[in-house]
Amino acid sequence: MTYDINNKIILVTGANRGIGKVLVETFIERGAKKVYAAVRQVESVSPLVEKYGDKVVPIHIDLSNPQSIVAAAQTAQDVQVVVNNAGAFKGTTPLDSNAIASLEFEMNINVYGLIHMAQAFAPVLKANGGGVFVQLNSVVSMKTFPNFATYSASKAAAYSITQALRELLGEQGTIVLSVHPGPIATDMGDAAGLTEIAEPPSLVASGIIEALKNEDFHVFPDSMAKQIGGAYQSFAANVVEVNMSEG
């Protein structure tokens, strides 16, 4: 099912900086009717409101606070496209003394936050004709980077949940996208020590829009992602995207 974001009502988590901010800007510039900029501090999207006026609607979501997600879904009843972009990163190896604490922190935001987002927004998307649910995963969902292994584990778990959502939300006509960037030039890219090889967040935005047109489930937007996506293509097509419960 090909999908055009033109004239659509979209919600983006983590909309105040990094990839999320560029997603908001790109969606509006590509014709979105309205974007709910979902953030922990609503004042943090004031620059976007100043730039785009009432096309940007600030809304409170803290992915570690399920009540905030439920409340946002009650407010944003007209949303047609949900992009769960917000994420948390700790540069922790499994051998670090704080490995378990880091993994718990990252799982809470990157995985439990995703589950709460899907639970709260699935009925809204259904009521609005199906729509789209986009999840920001990573190349580390497929390939662990040892220096941030706990983050990689959380993104692998998020990818696993995203695969389930593809089938389950597909039954109500919701398109699900799993986005797998490599190093992107944001605060998180810097924190991961990837500044030198990072590519612009605009690649993620155009990759999502292109995947919606092409009916792709996996999105590999930048150079490293495309390399991993190319190697992964056969497994994705013949295993991940096949419904194995049908004989």
Question: Between β-strands 175-179 and 9-13, what pairing exists: parallel, antiparallel or unpaired?
Answer: unpaired
Q: Residues for the chain: how many in total? A: 247
Nearer to ligand NAP, 32 or 63 (CB): 63
Q: Cα(240)–Cα(247) distance, rounded to whole angstroms?
A: 15
Q: Cα(11)–Cα(125) distance, rounded to whole angstroms?
A: 11
Residue 20 interacts with ligand NAP (CB under 6 A): yes or no: yes
- Check if the beta carbon of residue 63 is closer than 8 Å to that of residue 243: no
Residue 187 interacts with ligand NAP (CB under 6 A): yes or no: yes
Name the one range near ligand NAP by CB under 6 A: 29-37, 80-88, 93-101, 166-174: 80-88
Per CB under 6 A, the list member of 73, 86, 134, 175 interacting with ligand NAP is 86
Which strands form 9-13's sheet, in the order they lie side by side? 56-60, 34-39, 9-13, 81-84, 132-136, 175-179, 218-219
Report residue 102 CA to chain centroid gap: 20
Question: Minimum Å distance from CB 244 to ligand NAP?
Answer: 27
Angle between helices 113-127 and 149-170 (to 10 degrees): 20
# binding residues, ligand NAP (CB under 6 A)? 30
Question: Minimum Å distance from CB 35 to ligand NAP?
Answer: 14
Tokens of 201: 């967040």
Tokens of 196: 């030198």
Closest CA to 18 of 185, 199, 152: 185
Residue 169 interacts with ligand NAP (CB under 6 A): yes or no: no
Nearer to ligand NAP, 32 or 83 (CB): 83
Nearer to ligand NAP, 50 or 171 (CB): 50
Q: Which of residues 35-64 bind ligand NAP (CB under 6 A)?
A: 39-41, 44, 61-64
Question: Minimum Å distance from CB 63 to ligand NAP?
Answer: 4
Name the one range near ligand NAP by CB under 6 A: 3-11, 79-87, 167-175, 230-238: 79-87
Q: Cα(156)–Cα(150) distance, rounded to whole angstroms?
A: 10
Q: Which of residues 129-168 bind ligand NAP (CB under 6 A)?
A: 136, 138
Nearer to ligand NAP, 39 or 124 (CB): 39
- Check if the beta carbon of residue 61 is closer than 8 Å to that of residue 42: no
Residue 87 interacts with ligand NAP (CB under 6 A): yes or no: yes
Q: Which residues bind ligand NAP (CB under 6 A)?
A: 13-14, 16-20, 39-41, 44, 61-64, 85-88, 109, 136, 138, 181, 183-184, 186-189, 194
